């Protein structure tokens, strides 16, 4: 059986159920790298210049982990998923960068997704990818349709049922739905890329720490596309597809949907700094929901994150207690 390596980083957090369905339908076995550790980061970091963004260093560390464990590594190039809106340039050069800095990397399976090039181009790209596993077009088409349905279900369970991304991926939805229905908890909106919010090593176990204070955490994936669309229009369009989603979620949470917002960005990321600034300025303008931004980098220490988090939560919980009817 052909083994396809999937680095647990970057777009993994957005598309894994889709990729998993596609490749397993075509008879491949998936090898997903384990959750990020300091060793993952150090391995990736050693191959690139210091000012490469933290998520890309982590991604490269995951690829290094997959060396000698699979026949191919899957690294898609997502140029554009919405017409005339493009992704961060780091996503476009990932296969080339990986080849250049990890020469021992197994052969890379690539697919370029660019909706601006039309449907025929997209179908051909999917066919070219599927041809590594079967020459039968009908099988590739069926796998692609099943993959799209898996992606759709994954997104819906998060934004319609309020399920967090890791649970939506592992199918522990019922448990979480119950846990999220306590309205006396402080609700904290976390905004940022899913590869920051859901990688516990990168974000210093932020979600776990918030939940330990009995806060309810909501993330951009839990906002419906309709709500995002309206909220994004309110704050203004961004220039990058995924950043627009994060800005839209920030704008949505700012309409009194949560008790506080934490924006997570990485040092040296242009799109992140612009995106967080848009939300921060809007938060300062309307003054109804406190906003804190956390900028993470390779050397960020637990203590620094913890101190800021405690001060922010203390303020949120005091404010929340004052507004409860029995307070
Ligand atoms: S958006 Fe920022 S953090 Fe993400 S890959 Fe691009 S530069 Fe790195």
The atom number, within ligand 1, closest to the CA of 195 reads 4
297 lines ligand 1 (CB under 6 A): no
Q: How many CB atoms lie within 10 A of CB 234?
A: 14
Q: Which of 7, 85, 88, 294 to mutate to test the pocket of ligand 1 (most atoms within 8 A of CB)?
A: 88
Q: What is the pLDDT of residue 178?
A: 45
How does residue 304 score in pLDDT terms, banded at 50, 70 and 90?
confident
Mean pLDDT of 42-58: 94
Residue 180 reports pLDDT greater than 70: no
How does residue 177 score in pLDDT terms, banded at 50, 70 and 90?
very low
| CA-nearest residue, atom 8 of ligand 1 | 53
Q: What is the pLDDT of residue 237?
A: 63
272 lines ligand 1 (CB under 6 A): yes
Residue 205 reports pLDDT greater than 70: yes
Q: What is the mean pLDDT of the chain?
A: 89
Question: 80-138, pLDDT tens digit by residue?
Answer: 888 877 888 888 899 999 999 999 999 999 999 998 999 999 999 999 999 999 999 99
Query: Which parts of 110-136 fold into alpha helices (H)?
Result: 119-130
Candidate from 3-17, 163-177, 244-258 with smallest mean pLDDT:
163-177
Give the length of the chain.
Answer: 327
Structural domains for the chain: 3-156 (3.40.50), 164-323 (3.40.50)
**Structure-model confidence comparison of residues 194 and 244, the more confident one:** 194
Contact assessment for residue 58 and residue 202, using Cβ atoms and an 8 Å cutoff: yes
Q: What is the pLDDT of residue 239?
A: 63
Q: What is the pLDDT of residue 179?
A: 45
Distance (Å) from CA 77 to ligand 1 centroid? 14
| CA-nearest residue, atom 7 of ligand 1 | 269
How does residue 325 score in pLDDT terms, banded at 50, 70 and 90?
low
Distance (Å) from CA 40 to ligand 1 centroid? 18
Residue 299 reports pLDDT greater than 50: yes
Percent helix, percent strand, percent coil in the chain, to nearest 5: 55, 15, 35
Residue 176 reports pLDDT greater than 50: no
Distance (Å) from CA 96 to ligand 1 centroid? 16
Contact assessment for residue 271 and residue 56, using Cβ atoms and an 8 Å cutoff: no
266 lines ligand 1 (CB under 6 A): yes
**pLDDT > 90 fraction of the chain, expressed in percent and rounded:** 61
271 lines ligand 1 (CB under 6 A): yes
Write the burial class of residue 134 (CB in 10 Å: 0-12 exposed, 13-18 middle, 19+ buried): middle
55 lines ligand 1 (CB under 6 A): yes
The atom number, within ligand 1, closest to the CA of 272 reads 2
Candidate from 158-167, 172-181, 267-276 with smallest mean pLDDT:
172-181
Q: What is the pLDDT of residue 183?
A: 62
Contact assessment for residue 66 and residue 109, using Cβ atoms and an 8 Å cutoff: no
Question: 247-273, pLDDT tens digit by residue?
Answer: 889 999 999 899 999 999 998 788 888
Picking from 190, 135, 133, 146, the residue whose alpha carbon sits closest to that of residue 164 is 190
Q: Which of 41, 86, 194, 272 to mutate to test the pocket of ligand 1 (most atoms within 8 A of CB)?
A: 272
75 lines ligand 1 (CB under 6 A): no
Distance (Å, whole) CA 213 – CA 314: 10
Mean pLDDT of 28-32: 97
């Amino acid at each position: 059986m052909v083994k396809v390596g999937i680095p647990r980083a970057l777009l993994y957090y957005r598309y894994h159920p889709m990729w998993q369905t596609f490749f397993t339908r075509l008879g491949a076995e998936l090898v997903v790298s384990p959750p990020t550790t300091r060793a993952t980061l150090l391995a990736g970091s050693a191959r690139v210049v210091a000012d490469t963004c933290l998520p890309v260093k982590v991604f490269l560390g995951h690829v290094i982990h997959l060396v000698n464990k699979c026949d191919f590594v899957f690294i898609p190039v997502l140029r554009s998923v919405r017409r005339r809106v493009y992704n961060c340039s780091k996503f476009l050069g990932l296969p080339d960068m990986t080849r250049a800095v990890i020469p021992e990397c197994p052969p890379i399976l690539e697919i370029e997704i660019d909706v601006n090039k039309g449907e025929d181009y997209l179908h051909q790209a999917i066919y070219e990818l599927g041809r590594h596993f079967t020459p039968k077009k009908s099988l590739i088409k069926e796998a692609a349709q099943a993959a799209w349905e898996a992606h759709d279900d994954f997104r819906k369970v998060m934004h319609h049922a309020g399920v967090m991304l890791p649970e939506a991926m592992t199918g522990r939805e019922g448990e979480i739905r119950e846990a999220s229905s306590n309205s006396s908890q402080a609700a904290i909106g976390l905004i940022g890329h899913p590869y920051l919010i859901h990688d516990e090593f990168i974000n210093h176990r932020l979600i776990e720490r918030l939940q330990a204070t009995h806060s309810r955490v909501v993330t951009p994936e839990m906002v419906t596309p309709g709500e995002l669309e309206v909220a994004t229009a309110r704050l203004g369009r961004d220039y990058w597809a995924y950043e627009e989603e994060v800005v839209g979620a920030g704008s949505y949470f700012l309409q009194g949907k949560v008790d506080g917002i934490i924006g997570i960005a990485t040092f040296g990321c242009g799109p992140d700094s612009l995106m967080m600034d848009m939300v921060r300025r809007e938060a300062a303008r309307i003054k109804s929901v406190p906003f804190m931004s956390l900028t993470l980098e390779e050397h960020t220490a637990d203590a620094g994150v913890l101190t800021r988090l405690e001060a922010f939560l203390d303020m949120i919980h005091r404010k929340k207690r004052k507004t409860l009817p029995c307070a």
